[in-house]
């Protein structure tokens, strides 16, 4: 007989499982300054590498003289493309099927491009070496405008592939053209638009910006020549993919490469790609025989490490006179910079931009994207978004506003009229996606009610009248946004990166005394995986979350997975965690039945134990089962209690939400104040509400930054004019408002626990909410479209152009 069993609720609470706001286990080390980031690593004999970078956006490299640099004390080596060429490492493959120079091979194609790599005793000696390398350049004409890329006489940027008519994504029509990608039915869409009662047309520009994690990118490469093993610690959002790619391009066998992602100081997509610094550090370690560290500085990061967005989206949307949308056409000119280094699944060179029909039941649609080379830094990464979903959401949420203006209809009403209805899910979109689940109207109504939408519109109308009478200089904007995300890439059948299938994994070992360790193929960059994945597991296997250690990021110990970006950790690795937990439970059931001397089917799961059906006093706790699994001979059952799951999701997940921003805008200064921001998210089953709320606050603040001031800007010569935090806007606590969060729960029908992912939703939905608020404030004075970022100067200029300063 067992002791009296505590009530179910008590035992459930003791697990800190699914749905609890468990405090983070990561915080003890971070709050005490005991995190372990890559630049914290110090090793015996370690050298430091730094780059000579191009001051020009387009130039031929006539000569590189390293003599003076090599003569400096503390400088050990200077690598140039000529040194990497014999190893075949002067160019490297990009994630998008293009190739990129590791070090300038005859020419440079963007400002701050890597030209030579100086290896020295420390970062100061390396800086001395960088200053002493003499490079002779011959300037070439610069191309910064993607719309001029295919003009007669346009400079040819990529001489290496100028004659190639076929690229990684189909035919190329010009040396500066990368690909054309199409989705949907062009002819049918043209026909719908030609016959439509109302058509609105607008160019929507989502400007070039940058993820700018607070910790820049970096690595330490260490080639151990004694045992032939290469270890690289670095800021890698996808450590396993880095190992495979490193093996393929270096020829070092994969078992001899160990990639370790230590603590990462924010990623936001910036740390998915492979950068020249990684390759050069590895080569430098092989050459010098000691560990080599490379850490970029902030300007290196902003000017050369992967940017995001830069999509010019020409839209046409058609509707009936009473506001039923009939068709959507989008042609996007995508400025990719000098190399196509987007981080997108192979079959999707424009990512999931074809989610651009958004939350709406649009029967006919067509999207075409032209990728273009310019003299700008490469990238196009998913900055807190799932592969161009931010661009898609911004596009459709602006087009809805533009259409509402054309129809003379309230934009909230227009949205509600066209939402995909609850009973239409699973919904097949015109551009080929199957939306797994949704309930848009419920959240939307809740949001409108929460902000007092009708009263706000009334106040806004009164404000406009007061402004016209000269009684105020402040306008009121109401920014609406209803986004639908597509995350959790993804089904291996259509999602891979460089041929690597986008499944993910979890491996669990239960220790004899009933605690556990779980290892995943993902890697946290602040999302709190060690906290939340333990919660999923706690609910699945009945072991308290605090007794479960979570490990990620070491390719020698963790199971293979494609990493953390595109909000894929919860949808894919979270599913793997639940599935591995279920395998543990299945074996535990057999053990429990044996111990209780009943048939397997005669026991049932009860929070943290198996109980004999109908005899609640007869049970075996998970702890007892764990001990027995190792120490008792059970006929037909292997000792131990371990499981691994490699999870290939059957579909993406489709989180959604309703965001409303109320903004005060001073017409004379262009300054803005967020009076209220209401964010309702539906990310399906909620694992840790505290962490979800934190993700929403953070994502909204990144959205605020992007919409209201953050950009990577270039002048006509291709100089980056936003290369430091003096010019590149990151909101402080002063500009950032308090956010009001809310939720509905529509579980994903195909995810084992119904979760959908949330990290990127606030950025995807937030940008249109902020931008729409600005546009909405000026709507009464004739504004239809203006370009982000809406910094003070641009807003002032908008007001000026509309004659509001007269």
Partner 1 sequence: MEKMHVKMKVNGKDVDLLTEPRTLLIHALREELGLTGPHVGCSSSHCGACTVDMNGMSVKSCTVFAAQAEGADITTIEGLGSPDELHVLQEMFKEHHGLQCGYCTPGMITRAHRLLQENPNPTEEEVRFGIAGNLCRCTGYQNIVKAILEAAAKMNEMKESA
Helix axes 411-418, 389-407, angle to 10 degrees: 110
Does 708 sit near partner 1 (CB under 8 A)? no
Residues between 259 and 318 that touch partner 1 (CB under 8 A): 263-266, 268, 295, 297-298
Contact residue for partner 1 among 287, 690, 713, 802 (CB under 8 A): 690
Question: Looking at 691, 707, 767, 773, which residue binds partner 1 (CB under 8 A)?
Answer: 691
Q: Which stretch binds partner 1 (CB under 8 A): 87-95, 524-532, 540-548, 772-780?
A: 524-532
Which two tokens mark 528? 């709190």
212 binds partner 1 (CB under 8 A): yes
Q: Which of 385, 506, 661, 683 is catalytic?
A: 385
Identify the H or E element spanning 271. none
**588-593 long-range contacts, CB within 8 A, separation 24+:** 588/541, 588/622, 588/625, 588/626, 588/629, 588/641, 590/634, 590/637, 591/620, 591/625, 591/628, 591/629, 591/634, 591/637, 591/641, 592/619, 592/620, 592/625
Binding mask 42-81 for partner 1 (x = CB under 8 A): x---------------------------------------
Residue from 2, 10, 28, 106 in contact with partner 1 (CB under 8 A): 28
Q: Where are the beta strands (DSSP E) in 683-753?
A: 740-743
Catalytic residue status for 794? no
Smallest separation, CB 732 to partner 1 (Å): 4
The only residue of 7, 10, 30, 632 in contact with partner 1, by rule CB under 8 A = 30
DSSP element (H, E) containing 65: strand 59-65
Q: Would you say 35 or 749 has its CB closer to partner 1?
A: 35
Applying CB under 8 A, which of residues 6, 8, 10, 31 lies at the interface with partner 1? Answer: 31
Q: Does the protein bind partner 1 through residue 216 (CB under 8 A)?
A: yes
Residue 695 annotated among the catalytic residues of the structure: no
**Among the options 111, 113, 237, 460, which is catalytic?**
237
Range 96-125, binding partner 1 (CB under 8 A): 122-124
State yes or no: residue 33 binds partner 1 (CB under 8 A): yes
- Residue from 165, 732, 803, 806 touching partner 1 (CB under 8 A): that is 732
User: Can you tell me whether residue 517 is helix, strand or coil?
Assistant: strand
717 is an interface residue for partner 1 by CB under 8 A: no
How far, in Å, CA of 405 to CA of 418, rounded?
16
Q: Least distance in Å: CB of 149 to partner 1?
A: 33
11, 13, 14, 24: which one binds partner 1 (CB under 8 A) = 24
Q: Is 726 one of the binding residues for partner 1 (CB under 8 A)?
A: yes
Residue 24's H or E segment, with its range, is: none
Buried-state track 101-118, b at ≥16 Cβ within 10 A, e below 16: bbbbbebbbbbbbbbbbb
Task: Let me know if 675 is a catalytic residue.
Answer: no
Comparing CB distances to partner 1, the nearer of 262 and 337 is 262
Shortest Å distance, C-beta 321 to partner 1: 42
Task: Please state, in angstroms and as integers, the Cα–Cα distance from residue 53 to each residue in 37, 111, 156, following that order.
Answer: 25, 8, 21
Q: How far is the CB of 649 from partner 1 (least distance, A)?
A: 25
Q: Quick check: 373 binds partner 1 (CB under 8 A)?
A: no
By CB under 8 A, tell whether 672 contacts partner 1: no
In the complex with partner 1, the residue whose CB is nearer, 293 or 751, is: 293
Identified catalytic residue from 384, 463, 519, 585: 384
Q: In this structure, what is the dihedral angle of CA atoms 269, 271, 272, 277, given to the nearest 10 degrees?
A: 140
Closest approach, Cβ 210 to partner 1, in A, equals 11
- Could you write out the DSSP letters of every residue in 172-237? -SSTTEEEEEEEE-HHHHHHHHHH-SEEEEEEEEEEEE----SS--EEEEEEETTTTEEEEEE--S
Report the distance separating Cα 730 and Cα 209, nearest Å.
11
DSSP 346: T
For the question of residue 384 being annotated catalytic, the response is yes
Q: Which of 320, 424, 669, 724 binds partner 1 (CB under 8 A)?
A: 724
197 touches partner 1 by CB under 8 A: no
Strands of 364-373's sheet, edge to edge? Answer: 177-184, 364-373, 325-337, 308-319, 198-209
Give CA torsion, residues 797, 406, 398, 798, to 10 deg: 0
Q: Rounded to the nearest 5°, which phi and psi values hold at 730? A: -125, 120
CA distance to 142, 352, 472, 731, 792, per residue, from 175 (Å): 15, 25, 54, 40, 39
Report the distance separating Cα 546 and Cα 42, nearest Å. 31
Calculate the alpha carbon distances from 461 to 155, 468, 795 in Å. Answer: 51, 11, 20
Residue 735, both tokens: 């500009």
**Residue 697 touches partner 1, criterion: CB under 8 A:** yes
Cis peptide before 159 (omega within 30 of 0): no
DSSP-assigned beta bridge partners for residue 643: 508
Which stretch, 185-193, 271-279, 638-646, 685-693, contacts partner 1 (CB under 8 A)? 685-693
Name the segment binding partner 1 (CB under 8 A); options: 284-292, 361-369, 633-641, 695-703: 695-703
Report the 10 Å Cβ neighbour count for 715.
Answer: 12
Instruction: Find the shortest distance in angstroms from Cβ 25 to partner 1.
Output: 10
- Measured between alpha carbons, how far is 254 from 245 in angstroms, rounded to an integer? 9
Q: Pick the binder of partner 1 from 227, 601, 631, 738 (CB under 8 A).
A: 738
Interaction residues for partner 1, span 618-647 (CB under 8 A): none
Q: Applying CB under 8 A, which of residues 730, 780, 783, 802 lies at the interface with partner 1?
A: 730
Pick the closest to residue 416 from 394, 396, 400 (CA basis). 400
Return the residue of 373, 739, 743, 796 that touches partner 1, per CB under 8 A: 739
The yes or no reply on residue 784 touching partner 1 (CB under 8 A) is no
Token pair for 21 = 């706001």
Inter-residue contact 570 to 503 (CB < 8 Å): no
Figure out which of the listed residues 8, 10, 40, 248 binds partner 1, where binding follows CB under 8 A: 40
Number of residues that bind partner 1 (CB under 8 A): 56
Contact residues for partner 1 (CB under 8 A)?
23-24, 26-35, 37, 39-40, 42, 122-124, 212-216, 263-266, 268, 295, 297-298, 525-528, 690-691, 693-694, 697-702, 724-726, 730, 732-734, 736, 738-739
The residues that are catalytic are 237, 384-385, 760
């Amino acid at each position: 007989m067992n002791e009296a069993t505590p009530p179910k609720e008590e035992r459930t609470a003791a697990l800190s499982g699914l749905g609890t706001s468990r405090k983070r286990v990561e915080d003890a080390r971070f709050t005490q300054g005991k995190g372990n980031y890559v630049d914290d690593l110090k090793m015996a004999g370690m050298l430091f590498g730094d780059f000579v970078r191009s001051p020009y956006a387009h130039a031929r490299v006539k000569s590189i003289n390293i003599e003076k640099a090599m003569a400096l004390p503390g400088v050990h080596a200077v690598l140039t493309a000529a040194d990497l060429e014999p190893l075949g490492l002067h160019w490297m493959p990009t994630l998008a099927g293009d190739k990129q120079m590791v070090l300038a091979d005859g020419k440079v194609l963007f400002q701050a491009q890597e030209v030579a790599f100086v290896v020295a005793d420390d970062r100061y000696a390396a800086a001395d070496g960088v200053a002493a390398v003499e490079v002779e350049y011959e300037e070439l004409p610069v191309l910064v405008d993607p719309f001029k890329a295919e003009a007669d006489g346009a400079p040819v940027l990529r001489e290496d592939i100028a004659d190639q008519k076929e690229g990684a994504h189909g035919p190329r029509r010009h040396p500066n053209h990368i690909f054309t990608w199409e989705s949907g039915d062009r002819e049918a869409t043209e026909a719908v638009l030609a016959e439509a009662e109302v058509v609105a047309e607008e160019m929507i520009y989502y400007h070039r910006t940058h993820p700018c994690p607070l910790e820049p990118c970096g690595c330490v490469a260490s080639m151990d020549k004694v045992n032939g093993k290469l270890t690289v610690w670095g800021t890698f959002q996808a450590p396993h993919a880095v190992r495979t790619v490193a093996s393929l391009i270096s020829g070092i066998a994969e078992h001899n490469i160990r990639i370790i992602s230590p603590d990462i100081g924010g990623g936001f997509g910036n740390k998915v790609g492979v950068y020249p610094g990684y390759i050069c550090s590895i080569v430098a370690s092989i050459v010098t025989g000691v560990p080599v560290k490379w850490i970029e500085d902030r300007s290196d990061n902003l000017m050369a490490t992967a940017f995001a967005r830069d999509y010019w989206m020409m839209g046409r949307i058609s509707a009936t006179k009473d506001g039923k949308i009939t068709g959507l056409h989008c042609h996007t000119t995508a400025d990719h910079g000098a190399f196509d280094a987007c981080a997108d699944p192979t079959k999707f060179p424009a990512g999931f931009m074809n989610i651009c029909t958004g939350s709406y039941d649009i029967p006919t649609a067509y999207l075409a994207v032209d990728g273009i080379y310019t003299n700008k830094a490469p990238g196009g990464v998913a900055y807190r978004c799932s592969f161009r979903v931010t661009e898609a959401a911004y596009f459709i949420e602006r087009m809805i506003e533009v259409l509402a203006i054309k129809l003379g209809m309230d934009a909230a009403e227009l949205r509600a009229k066209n939402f995909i209805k609850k009973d239409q899910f699973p919904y097949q979109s015109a551009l080929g996606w199957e939306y797994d689940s949704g309930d848009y109207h419920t959240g939307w109504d809740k949001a409108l009610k929460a902000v007092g939408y009708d009263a706000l519109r009334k106040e806004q109308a009164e404000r406009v009248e007061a402004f016209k009478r000269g009684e105020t200089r402040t306008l009121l904007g109401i920014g609406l946004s209803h986004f639908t995300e597509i995350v959790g890439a993804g089904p291996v059948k259509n999602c891979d990166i460089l041929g690597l299938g986008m499944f993910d994994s979890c491996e669990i070992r239960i220790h004899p005394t009933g605690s556990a360790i779980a290892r995943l193929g993902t890697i946290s960059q602040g999302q709190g995986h060690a906290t939340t994945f333990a919660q999923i597991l706690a609910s699945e296997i009945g072991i308290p979350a605090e007794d479960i250690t979570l490990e990620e990021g070491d390719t020698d110990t963790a199971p293979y997975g494609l990493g953390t970006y595109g909000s894929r950790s919860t949808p894919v690795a979270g599913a793997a965690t639940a599935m591995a937990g279920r395998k543990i439970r299945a074996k535990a059931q057999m053990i429990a039945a044996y111990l209780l001397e009943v048939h397997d089917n005669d026991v049932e799961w009860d929070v943290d134990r198996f109980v004999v059906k109908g005899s609640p006093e007869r049970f075996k706790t998970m702890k007892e089962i764990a001990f027995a699994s190792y120490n008792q001979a059970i006929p037909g059952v292997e000792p131990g209690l371990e499981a691994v799951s490699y999870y290939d999701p059957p579909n993406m997940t489709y989180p959604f939400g309703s965001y409303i921003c109320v903004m005060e805008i001073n017409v004379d200064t262009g300054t803005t104040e967020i009076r209220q921001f209401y964010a309702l998210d539906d990310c399906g089953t909620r694992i840790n509400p505290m962490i979800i709320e934190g993700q929403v606050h953070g994502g909204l603040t990144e959205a605020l930054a992007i919409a209201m001031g953050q950009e990577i800007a270039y002048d006509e010569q291709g100089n980056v004019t936003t290369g430091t935090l003096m010019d590149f806007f990151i909101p402080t606590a002063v500009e950032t408002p308090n956010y009001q969060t809310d939720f509905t729960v529509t579980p994903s029908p195909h995810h084992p626990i119904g979760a959908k992912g949330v990290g990127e939703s606030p950025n995807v939905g937030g940008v249109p909410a902020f931008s729409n608020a600005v546009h909405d404030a000026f709507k009464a004075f004739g504004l239809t479209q203006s370009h982000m970022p809406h910094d003070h100067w641009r807003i002032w200029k908008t007001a000026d152009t509309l004659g509001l300063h007269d």
